[in-house]
Amino acid sequence: ASRKPLDMVMERKKSGEKRQTRVKVVIRVRPPLTQDNSKICVGTAGNKVEIFNHRNIKENLQYEFSSVFDKSSSQREIFEVCVKPLLGHAIKGENVSIFAYGPTGAGKTYTMLGTEEDPGMIPRVMHTLFQSLPAHCGTAAGPALNAASDHKVSFSFLEIYNEKVQDLLNPSETDLPIREDGNHNIFVAGLTEKVIRSFDDFKHLFGPASKNRTMAATKLNDRSSRSHCIVQLKVDSRRGNQVYHGKIYLIDLAGSEDNRRTGNIGIRLKESGAINKSLFVLGEVVDAINNNLPRIPYRNSKLTRLLQDSIGGSCHAVMITNVSPEESFYYDTYCTLNFATKSRKIVNSNTASISVDRPAEPPKSLKRSHSESQRVGG
């Protein structure tokens, strides 16, 4: 655990080992939701994010990411920078996954789904795909062919709830099995796949199916989702006599909040455990990929098993990590930033490059047991 990624890169270069595509991790800080003077505790500058250190108020914790999007960033900007460049890979027959990670209330659903006025990544991907498919066909060797017959987009919509895989286009209690074919493609056996030919086709399927999602109230947010919600697009493209099979996953992950704070008991606590297991394993998988470790623990959760052929290897993945700026979310933000990057340093708050509003004293809720601090700080 003490080995640094850089050492590993050097070792890999020496051994001439083939390098995996890293999972790109970006941060999005949502705008404050109210005008009141609830304190803001997250600062951003360039590709850095800073929060105060609750263990030593004179210090700030500074984290570095591929990109940082602050409160003024638009859906369009995030799409153009993080998502659109990946779509071409899917048309070339490679696998792509785009997921939103973060605690409840931090903006995952806003980022992935958005609103009618300001659509998120899912509708933008659909729109761009249908717009660009004929053009892409034209850039291949030879003249542009009829888009309708040369590309096929199949839409599936599923959720992983309590470590069970459920089909949202054909809801039932059945836990669908995740399997692997002879070419190491992962698939969900029995999952509904609908061919869609236009953005309207997508809207007709997606709108009603979204309502099938499992929602349960928690103390933190009554629209909190307990499930991982997954759009799967299969993109088949024919060029000459070759057909390329690409796959795109668009994932609104379950909330990553610390369940000890949400007052979850009984059945809810069991669900929380399952959600945390998948998210915990996802963290290990992303870490293993980005540090080029020999063993990647895909099989340890349903979510990572499903994503096995779509993150790591030659796949293209981006994790949009959502955080809230308000001090009341400090602990969630702290845990999320620690989860999202190991690239962290402590800076003196007086000389910090980013000014972060800080409380006179750490909030009381942050007084944690030693073992817990160790766990999240790791």
Q: Where along the sequence are the contacts to ligand ADP (CB under 6 A)? A: 30-31, 33, 102, 104-110, 221, 255, 322
Residues in the chain: 378
With respect to ligand ADP, which residue has the nearer C-beta, 140 or 231? 231
State in angstroms the smallest separation of the CB of 6 from ligand ADP: 33
Instruction: Count the Cβ atoms, other than its own, within 10 Å of residue 309.
Output: 21
If binding is defined by CB under 5 A, does position 336 make contact with Mg ion?
no
State in angstroms the smallest separation of the CB of 215 from ligand ADP: 11
State in angstroms the smallest separation of the CB of 41 from ligand ADP: 17
State in angstroms the smallest separation of the CB of 224 from ligand ADP: 6
Q: Which residues contact 360 (CB under 8 A, 6 or more apart)?
A: none
Query: Exposed, middle or buried, 115 (CB in 10 Å: 0-12/13-18/19+)?
Result: exposed
User: Which of 67, 75, 95, 109 lies at the binding interface for Mg ion (CB under 5 A)?
Assistant: 109
With respect to ligand ADP, which residue has the nearer C-beta, 28 or 151? 28
With respect to ligand ADP, which residue has the nearer C-beta, 212 or 221? 221
State in angstroms the smallest separation of the CB of 77 from ligand ADP: 11
Q: What angle do CA 72, 76, 78 make, to 5 degrees?
A: 70
State in angstroms the smallest separation of the CB of 330 from ligand ADP: 16
Residue with tokens 């899912």: 122
Binding span for Mg ion by CB under 5 A among 100-108, 232-240, 265-273, 291-299 = 100-108
Interaction with Mg ion in 209-228: which residues (CB under 5 A)?
225
CB under 5 to 8 A by kind: which of ligand ADP, Mg ion, none does 322 bind? Answer: ligand ADP
CB under 5 to 8 A by kind: which of ligand ADP, Mg ion, none does 239 bind? Answer: none
If binding is defined by CB under 5 A, does position 324 make contact with Mg ion?
no
If binding is defined by CB under 5 A, does position 301 make contact with Mg ion?
no
How far, in Å, CA of 276 to CA of 268, rounded? 12
CB under 5 to 8 A by kind: which of Mg ion, ligand ADP, none does 105 bind? Answer: ligand ADP
CB under 5 to 8 A by kind: which of Mg ion, ligand ADP, none does 244 bind? Answer: none
Please tell me the number of Cα atoms within 13 Å of 254 on its side-chain side. 29
CB under 5 to 8 A by kind: which of Mg ion, ligand ADP, none does 21 bind? Answer: none
H helices of the chain, in order, are 5-15, 75-78, 84-91, 108-112, 121-139, 147-150, 199-210, 266-290, 302-306, 330-340, 370-377
State in angstroms the smallest separation of the CB of 200 from ligand ADP: 25
Closest among 112, 94, 87, 88 to 102, alpha carbons compared? 112
How far, in Å, CA of 206 to CA of 263, rounded? 32
H helices of 42-175, in order, are 75-78, 84-91, 108-112, 121-139, 147-150
Binding interface with Mg ion (CB under 5 A): 108-109, 225
